[in-house]
Amino acid sequence: MKNRILKLAFALLITMSAGAQKPTLFLGAKAHLGNGTVIENSAISIQNGKFQLIADASIIRIDPSAFDTIYRVNGMHMYPSFIVPNTTLGITEIDAVRASNDYSETGGFNPNIRTLIAYNTDSKVAKTVRTNGVLIAQVTPRGGRISGQSSVMHLDGWNWEDAALRIDDGIHLNWPASYYNTGWWAEPGESKQNKDYQNNVTEIETFLTKASAYAKSSKLMDLKMESMRNLFDGGKTLYIHADNANDMRDAIELSNKLHIKKIVIVGAEEARKITDLLLENNISLILNRVHRLPKSQDSPVDEPFTQVKKLHDAGVHFCLSYEGEMEAMGSRNLSFTAGTTVAFGMDYEQAVKSITLNTAEILGVADEVGSIENGKNATFFISDGDALDMRTNDVTKAYINGVAIDLNNHQKELFEKYKNR
């Protein structure tokens, strides 16, 4: 009986192998690989959710019988998925409706809070973002001194378990500001010193020191301390949200003192003032959104546009984000912010890299996504025009792990409903 079952299983295996689906080929697109290079006339195939053939169609011979389906996408553009870091996408729906917002917890120190389990795969906002090529997001908590843990998620899936790409990739620390601006954007006031700054920093150091001591022991169980354990062995990243140059210096000094293995600075408004320190400590940045005014009234009005090129020329490793007002729904404009940096001197393929491979490297998922390379997950999209230009961008196909996703969304449905009225 046992031998008969083994024979049947073996026969089934042979049948499945013989009927295995052939690769799917995309032929003729201008492929922006995400790693800084481009293939003008590409031949790219996918199979079993992975990229397989990555070649120049003008110099290879293609056997059509070797492929299950061939999409001729001549004149179109192919990109790896754009990745939006540091966003509340998927954990907030309508800003003005409190019940739909699940990104903040009460209390000051909440390293045990996980955005992963709050992530809503049925978000209507996420579907509008996908239509502009953003297929992956680092879903990030807000509020408090330590907000909690982010996770890297696909913008498609049955539930949060299905959508997860990297679970609990890091902990987010909101560094206190040593100086703050009074007034508001239309009438900026003077800059004032934060008298509680040193006390705030001491409070952070005390908490992190306690977490470091806990990480060396396994006798006790504390949920908050347990969630911090991997900061000290490199398993998690400490994302430090800071803008002022002196604040960033203090944050880096404390991190080195406590032997935190990997830190990333989020915001980094004045990063250009400490480029040597960033390079010396191998620190990456998640920059503030490009489409905004500078935070300091003394800064040039175009500084958010020009800063990206300056940091790139200095050799600093960074990616672009879209944090700020209406950030979840506004994430669909991430690619257009990269396009703005091109208008202010950034190389086009490097601008693409700043929202693809650079982001994947910073978030620790570059082995799987971020570029079109053999063996990586086939998470990509095809646009009928330049995806960094809002005048020509038109995403026609998108895939997550080699599976085509629906590009319809609530906004398109409303357009179709009312366009003839």
Cα 112-117-122 angle, rounded to 5 deg: 150
- Please state, in angstroms and rounded to a whole number, the distance separating the CA atoms of residues 6 and 17: 16
Residue type, 386: D
- Mean pLDDT of the 152-169 span: 95
Check residue 290 and give its pLDDT.
94
* 135 assigned to some structural domain: yes
Give me the domain span that covers residue 257. Answer: 82-176+207-365
- Altogether, the residues listed in the chain come to a count of 421
Residue 216's pLDDT band (cuts 50, 70, 90): confident
The Cα-based distances of 23 to 30, 44, 70, 417 in angstroms read: 20, 10, 9, 38
Helices (H), 281-409: 303-314, 327-330, 334-343, 348-353, 357-363
**Least confident range of 166-170, 199-203, 222-226, 259-263:** 222-226
Check residue 368 and give its pLDDT.
97
Check residue 2 and give its pLDDT.
42
- Report the mean per-residue pLDDT for the chain: 91
Q: Is the pLDDT of residue 15 over 60?
A: no
Q: Say which DSSP state 81 is in.
A: P
Residue pair 312/351 in contact (Cβ under 8 Å)? The answer is no
Residue pair 57/28 in contact (Cβ under 8 Å)? The answer is yes
* 312 assigned to some structural domain: yes
Residue 185's pLDDT band (cuts 50, 70, 90): low
Residues 117-151 have pLDDT tens digits of: 999 999 999 999 999 999 999 999 999 999 999 99
Check residue 20 and give its pLDDT.
63
* 66 assigned to some structural domain: no
* 393 assigned to some structural domain: no
> CATH number of the domain that 336 lies in?
3.20.20.140
Check residue 183 and give its pLDDT.
78
Residue type, 10: F
Residue 187's pLDDT band (cuts 50, 70, 90): confident
**Sign of the Cα pseudo-torsion (222, 228, 233, 235, in order):** positive
* 402 assigned to some structural domain: no
- Mean pLDDT of the 63-78 span: 94
**Least confident range of 6-15, 309-318, 349-358:** 6-15
Q: Is the pLDDT of residue 54 over 80?
A: yes
Helices (H), 265-302: 275-280
Q: Is the pLDDT of residue 18 over 70?
A: no
Q: Is the pLDDT of residue 52 over 80?
A: yes
Supply 98's token pair: 């409190």
Check residue 394 and give its pLDDT.
95
Check residue 218 and give its pLDDT.
67
- Mean pLDDT of the 59-75 span: 93
* 197 assigned to some structural domain: no
Residue pair 175/240 in contact (Cβ under 8 Å)? The answer is yes
- Mean pLDDT of the 222-246 span: 93
Total domains in the chain come to 1
* 225 assigned to some structural domain: yes
- Mean pLDDT of the 37-51 span: 96
Q: Is the pLDDT of residue 420 over 90?
A: no
Residues 6+ apart with CB under 8 A from 132: 82, 332, 333, 334, 335, 387, 393, 395
Q: Is the pLDDT of residue 34 over 50?
A: yes
* 407 assigned to some structural domain: no
